[in-house]
Amino acid sequence: MNLIALGINHNSAAVEVRERVAFAPDQVAEALEELCRLQDVEEAVVLSTCNRTELYVAHAPDREMAPQKEQLLRWLASYHHLTASELESSAYFHQGQSALQHMIQVAAGLDSMVLGEPQIFGQLKSAYAVASEAGTVGAELGRVLPRVFSIAKKVRTDTAIGENPVSVAYAAVDLAGHIFADLRSCTALLVGAGETIELVAKHLVEAGVSEIVIANRTLGRARDLAQRFGAEAVLLSEIPERLHSADIVISSTASQLPILGKGAVEGALRSRKHRPMLMVDIAVPRDIEHQVGELRDVYLYSVDDLKEIVDENLRSRQTEARKADEIIAAGVTEFLSETRSLAAVDSVREYRRMAESLRERELDRALRAIARGDDPQQVVAQLARGITNKLIHAPTAGLKAASAAGRQDLLANARQLLGLASDAAHPAAANVTDDGGGVNPAAPADSASEASNITAESVASKNPDGQTLQ
């Protein structure tokens, strides 16, 4: 497989690094086209979430791996106006089978901060769809990613890895429960209207929070969520006048710039008479300026700060993770076996075309002989001998050359391919001419029959359409 995965995630880098290499949704299509303009990068998919940025590429088969890694790292850094040295210690790299295994682990939620979380599966499918639309998915990724999704789905179906996972959204609400004695008396301001904020709203309602305000760039999606959870929908521009009433602020948008600055929060704190405010920034890049954490009466947490809460979830799910690893290993082995078998398809088709051409020529010769009045029995016998000798001519010449060169490995492989017993002698081979002209007259009477049997058993094989050579 000419497959590479290069990335940076929550395990390899802090949020301060991850936010610098995140791709906004409207950047991805352009980035994919630029990535595929790199030398020998033929296909590409870009995955960018709050916890990871990863590049999946298919490259030309004759390239070395090391230059490819350096090239991708330089491109990722350059795209985000960084230097490769700034990312080198945080980046990880997988190739071939390792890349495939990593992609499945990502899709199954095994590489997530929250073990087994389901959101990443949909995020990777969306990334694949965007790349397909951009025209950067070809034969390699077009085979690999559907199988990645299939195996990841099997992991979720056959294990309990995805049952009631502690999500980042849940961890944020759980944190609020530790800061405030009674969440029922709290007002929550949610910034954004994506899947994570939807989960946050769900957990807040379950925790008893009765007053929720959802702020978003557009009102449509915010109103949909507000209607579902009995909340109020406002625009992002209304946040400054709403901020002072919020005890809990949880933000998760795709903005490339901070939405809440230190000045706005300072003003809200004055109006609150310094009542404490919990702010949880789940976004990458961050929505809330990190200087806000310097203010008294503000408890500011980033997505990385929630790791301690989700680590307990990780420990409790290790048994299921081991089961998942076994499923992934089996799936990878099966896929690689199928991939290797595809390499023989062209050879099988070419060999079949050669055999069919030979058969047509010999059959035409036989039909003309019968038309001339030749004995049909002798014609059929000659037809069989002609096909047999011509089919075994090239293998016979190859076997003799291998034997003369002392290539016992080739001889052993040939015997296996031809379906011959590994420890059997093969005197009949010496009695077959290497010019395709027929059986040596000095051979025993049954040599032609033996050669015919060898051909029938070993040359007859299934073609891709499931037909047997005659």
Which residues are designated catalytic?
Answer: 50
User: Are the beta carbons of 332 and 100 closer than 8 angstroms?
Assistant: yes
118 is annotated as contributing to ligand binding: yes
123 is annotated as contributing to ligand binding: yes
Give the long-range contacts of residues 105-109, CB within 8 A, separation 24 or more.
Answer: 105/328, 106/47, 106/52, 106/54, 107/148, 107/149, 107/151, 107/152, 108/151, 108/152, 108/155, 108/156, 108/161, 108/324, 108/328, 109/152, 109/156, 109/161, 109/162, 109/165
276 is annotated as contributing to ligand binding: no
192 is annotated as contributing to ligand binding: yes
How far apart are the two ends of the chain, measured CA to CA in Å?
A: 34
**Residues ≥6 apart with Cβ < 8 Å to 350:** none
453 is annotated as contributing to ligand binding: no
Query: Cα separation of 209 and 329, whole Å?
Result: 44
**What type of residue sits at position 7?**
G
Strand residues in 222-326 grouped as ranges (E)? 232-235, 248-251, 277-281, 298-302
468 is annotated as contributing to ligand binding: no
DSSP three-state, residue 469? coil
195 is annotated as contributing to ligand binding: yes
196 is annotated as contributing to ligand binding: yes
90 is annotated as contributing to ligand binding: no
259 is annotated as contributing to ligand binding: no
H-only helix segments in 213-303: 219-229, 239-242, 262-271
193 is annotated as contributing to ligand binding: yes
315 is annotated as contributing to ligand binding: no
Q: Which residues pair with 94 in a beta bridge?
A: 5
112 is annotated as contributing to ligand binding: yes
Binding annotation for substrate:
49-52, 112, 117-119, 123
Binding annotation:
49-52, 112, 117-119, 123, 192-197
Binding annotation for NADP(+):
192-197
